[in-house]
Structure formats: C-alpha cells, structure tokens
Chain A
Amino acid sequence: MTDRRENLILILPGLLLLCVAFFLPILRMLALSVEGEDGRTLAHFQRFLGDAFYLGVLWRTVRLSLIITFVCAVVGFPMAYIMARSSARVRLWLIVMVILPLMTSVVVRTFGWMVVLSRNGIIPELARDMGLAGRSFTLMQTESAIVIGMVQVLLPFMVLTILSVLSRIDGRLEEAARTMGCTFIQTVRAVVLPLALPGITAGAILVFTLSASSFITPSLLGGSRIQVLAASIYRSVTQTLDWPFAAAQSVILFSGILLVLIPYIRQQSRHRG
C-alpha cells in the first residue's frame, strides 16, 4: 500500500506536467478542429482531405520524412557501430562530436546550410566549376536542401538510440560468428543487424516524428514554394488566422504520427510479454 502511494507521489509531477502541457492542449486542439460557425462540423477535415493541393502537402511531408529517416538510418548505423566497437576514450570523443551540433540552435545551423547551399555557396559553386550545373544552379529552395538540413539536425537522435542498443550486444556473439566462418559483412547482417533492430526502429520512429512535425528547417531551406504540413499549419495560424483549419491539420498530422507509433508499441509489448 505504501509502495503504491510512494509510486503515485513519484509519478505525480510528471503526470501533472503531461496533463497541463500535453493533454489539455491536445484536447483543445481536437475541440477547435471541429468548431464551425454553427455547431460542430467536419468541414475542415473535408476541406483538407478533398483538396489535391493539401493532400499533396501531406504526401510531401510523409515522403520527405521517410527519406530523411532512411538516410539517417543508413548513415547512423555504421557510425553507431563504430562507436560501440571503439575504445571508451574514442567513443567518448565520438559521442561529443555527435552531440556537439545539438548545442547550437537549429536556426543557426540552418542558416549555415543556407550559406553553403545558396547560389554562391560552396556546393553549388563546386558543381558549377566542375561543369555539372548551369549558372543559376542552387540547392536552396529544393527538397534536397530540406533532406540535407534535416538529416544533420536529426542524425544525433538516430545514432544515440542505435548506440544504446548496440553497446548492450555481447561482443562474443560476433566473435562466434567470425570463427564459424562468417565474413565481416555476413556477421553484421546475420548477427548485429537483427539484434540492433529495436534500436533502429526506435531511432527511426523518433526521427520520423520529429521530421514530420518540424517547421523551421523546411521553411528556411525549402522556401515558401515547397510546403510541408507543419509550415501549412503555421500559415493557417499566423497568416490566414484560420485556427480551426490549423487545428484540423494538426489533428491529421497527430493521428498520422500516432498511426506510425501503434505498430511500434505493439511490437514492444510483444517483446516484454
């Protein structure tokens, strides 16, 4: 009994914070999304789902998030693997290097990319010098720019999540695989990857949700001509002042992310249970 009460007291601050900062706003958002001039209405959802333009924005958001997640996983896994297999000293330095970018504001980092990717930036200039692109070639205001910028912002989340799983895998398993005649690649594929899968899934979900809801980097690097859902919500709130429609878009984004989370939660509970 006292145990339970103690637990309750311990969980209370977190629960309270969750209620005030998460559940209440979400409820408010849900209510606002069905608010119409005369009573409740689903018109805002109909407007979004019945309009090829907004469906295009939704599809771009999902597509870009998938690409970003994929690139993060492909880049992040080898990095995390090397970190897990190197000495404690080297690992510490690698972790510091991965975390370091998180210490500057995402806006500052994005401005850095704007300089690098713009028409006179180093990458387009290099491409021009090598005769690969025309005079006005720029990476700014392209989907590629969004992917590049977002991967840099989100890579630490992927790497650190995978690392935490990889460092718990017994190194002797790999040794066993190698003595049984596996090549390095075969070892990674047959032993390390399957064991690291929960970490990769968790990292992928984290990266996917963060990139689907991110707003600053896509709007700075993509410009206003390449819209993602979060930017569209921002426009509805601050420019057209159509808050119910903004809420409806948020609900669609929120339920989309929830849909991605459900299989993951199922999988996790199967593991435990």
Chain B
Amino acid sequence: MHHTAIPLLSAVALVAGATAVSAQSITINSFGGAYEEAHRACIIDPFTEATGADVQIVTAYSADAFAQLRAQKEAPQFDVIHFSGGQEIVGAQEGLLAPIDPASLENADDLYDFAKENLAAGEGPAYSIASIGLLYNTETAPQAPTAWKDLVGGVYGDRLVLTDIANGYGMLGFLMINQVSGGSIDNIQPGLDAVAGLLDDGALIVNTSPEIQQEFAQNDAVIAAYASDYAYTLRKAGLPVKFVQGVEGTPASFITVNLVAGRVNEELALKFIDISISKEAQECFANALRYTPTNATVELSEEVAADVAYGPEAVAGLIRFDPITIEANRSAWVDAWNRTIAR
C-alpha cells in the first residue's frame, strides 16, 4: 500500500503545486533538513529577491528525484534538479536534462574546470562538493582513526556504522573500503567480504544520515564513514564528533544543479543555477554546512577552511570514483550488496 502511495502522493502534490502557481515560479528538489534550510538561505531566498519568482521545493534525495524525473519524461515537473550521486550523467545521456551554454551563466568563469566540464552535454555545474571521510566520537572511540584501513581492522566492533550503498555517500564510502581491502572499481568482491566481516562483528547498517545521528546519540556508535558536512551537523547537535580524511584518499561527491529539458521557464532556471554557483552562495553554503566550494573566488575563514577541501591544490587531491562506472554497475552492485547484508 505505502509503496504505491508515495510516488502517487508526490505526483498529486506536484500537479497541485504546478497548477496553483503563476508562470513566475520554478520547481526544484532539495535534500531536506538542515540542507534545505541552508539551500533556502543561501540560494533560494536570494533568487526570489533578485527575480521576484517563487520557488516550489520538493524534498527528494538524488535517487528518488531521478526516479521522478524519469517517470515524468513526457511532462517534466521540475525546472531545476539537484543530484549528489552522479545521476546527471545518465540524465544528460537520456535527454532528460538540457545543455547549458556557459555564456548564459555570469559566474561560470569563476568555477574550477572540473566543476563545469560537461555543461554542453547537459550535465549541470557542480556547486559544492561533499568529501567522504571518517567521522568519529573523540571522547568514546577506543582509538582515533587515521586511515580507511582502520575501519576494517576490527577495532570498533558493534560501534561502527556503515551506510547502505543505496545512499550516494554510502556508495563512495563502500568503494573506498573496497579499495583498501584490495578491490577496484571493476571488482567489489573484496569490499563485500570486508563488509560481511564487519557485520559479523556487529556493525550496523543505516540508510539515511539522520539515522547516523541517532546511532551516535542513542546507540553508542563511535565511528562512521560519511561526509564532512555531517560531522559538522553532529557537532552542532552537541556530539563530540571529528572528521578526518583517510590517508589513502578522500572520495568526493559532486553536488550538481541541473537544467531540466522541456520546461518553459528556462531563463528563470538558468538564473537559479547562476546564483547557485556564485561566490556569495558558495561562501554561505560552506559557512552553514561545511561543503567544499567549487567557485575559485570563494574566501573562507580559517575555521571553516579546516573542515573542507579549500583551494586549488586541496580540491585537486579529491578522488572521484567514475560515476559512469558506478551507474553502469549500480544495479548489480546493489543486488550483490543486498545479498551480502541480508540476514
């Protein structure tokens, strides 16, 4: 009952939203919670101020948002859509996203090159980056981690939290565990074996970030592989949590802002994208949530800079697992993962 109800309700909500608002309005997705708050403060409100247009927000994580975008192929309901798991590459290939002319974005020149590589193909610019590392409780962890290898060492037992690979960050964390266990992006079996071992030791698997907070706050969890911004979220919630980058490298998730094909409000949508990649918006985002900026002109305080990859050199050191390979294998990997973790 519920599984059909959710897409149906969101479809109804979208239709209702679309008919109720004027032409001076665009529909976007955001990721909920603190992210959505910052999104509102840093990008959405300034956009409304600059253009007078309303923004309808649908809360949907990347995978759900992409499923909706695909389902609405004939009559898209989003104007601008945000992804954090590389979905824009497949979306662009399937013609669901529209190409962007860099000349139509005032701030495009300020972006690092990697953030605007495939605008012409339809992949929107990356407006921030989440870097994946180790979050640990500085007071209760038996040992401070320095490397990804420490995760699989058996030190943390049932106080280790893993994230399901259905979650974009979970996938990147898993690929890194796989890599330090001797696997590669073409062979995830070593990673699966490592995860099976961790589960035997009592590790927990969660699906969403709020569950990580719950595990840390209520269930004595001491370590998790997740994004740097979330360490800051946990700190703000009063937990003594620190973020460290594993010595083997830091997988990165590009958060992109994409133009949906086949919509009438293209000009407004482009304006929204332009504001998303502006210096002001990215500074605001980094200050609020600790995301790594992609705009080279951004200036951060020392305190904030310590929590993110800041500056051209630091940014160049991030690892990006090939999203195309991930997308091509996602189905098989998720299946293999489910079998590995199933009780």
Task: Indicate which residue in A56, A119, A223, A233 contacts B206 across the interface (CB closer than 8 Å).
Answer: A223
Among A119, A121, A219, residue most surrounded by chain B Cβ atoms (within 10 Å):
A119
Given A213-B2, A224-B207, A225-B205: A235 and B338 interface contact (C-beta under 8 Å): yes
Shortest Cβ-Cβ A-B pairs, 7 listed: A240-B331, A119-B219, A215-B2, A215-B3, A239-B166, A120-B218, A213-B1
**A44-79 CB contacts (< 8 Å) to partner B:** 53, 56-57
Q: A210-B1, A213-B1, A223-B206 are in contact. Are A240 and B330 (CB under 8 A)?
A: yes
Interface residue count on the A side (C-beta < 8 Å): 36
B342 touches A239 (CB 8 A): no
- Whether A235 and B166, one on each chain, are in contact in the complex, defined by CB atoms closer than 8 angstroms, is yes
CA distance A115 to B202 in the complex (A): 20
For residue A191, CB closer than 8 A to chain B, the reply is no
**A82: CB under 8 A from chain B?**
no
| Known pairs A115-B218, A118-B218, A214-B1; A235 contacts B334 (CB<8 A) | yes
- B177-220 Cβ-contact flags toward A at 8 Å (1 or 0): 00000000000000000000001001011110000001000111
Given contacts A225-B341, A237-B67, 12 further A-B contacts (CB under 8 A): A118-B214, A119-B219, A120-B220, A136-B202, A213-B1, A215-B1, A215-B2, A224-B164, A224-B166, A235-B338, A238-B166, A241-B70
Q: How far is the CA of A167 from the CA of B111 in the complex (A)?
A: 72
Is B2 a contact of A216 with CB atoms below 8 Å? yes
Chain B: interface secondary structure? helix
Could you list 23 A-B pairs, sorted by A, with CB under 8 Å?
A: A25-B4, A53-B342, A119-B219, A120-B218, A120-B220, A121-B218, A136-B202, A138-B219, A140-B219, A210-B1, A213-B1, A213-B2, A213-B3, A223-B206, A227-B338, A233-B3, A234-B3, A239-B166, A239-B330, A240-B330, A240-B334, A241-B67, A242-B331
Which residues of chain B are near A237, meaning CB under 8 Å? 3, 7, 67
B64: Cβ under 8 A from any A Cβ? yes
Chain B residues with a Cβ closer than 8 Å to the other chain, count: 32
B158 at the interface (CB under 8 A from A): yes
B236 at the interface (CB under 8 A from A): no
B166 contacts A230, C-beta separation under 8 Å: no
Instruction: Indicate whether A163 reaches chain B with its CB closer than 8 angstroms.
Output: no
Shortest CB–CB separation between residue A54 and chain B, in angstroms?
Answer: 10
Instruction: Tell me the bound Cα distance from A138 to B199 in angstroms.
Output: 15
B11 to chain A, nearest CB (A): 11
Q: What residue of chain A has the Cβ atom nearest to residue B220's Cβ?
A: A119
Q: Which of A53, A140, A239 contacts B334 (CB 8 A)?
A: A239
Known: A213-B2, A240-B334. Contact between A119 and B343, CB under 8 A?
A: no
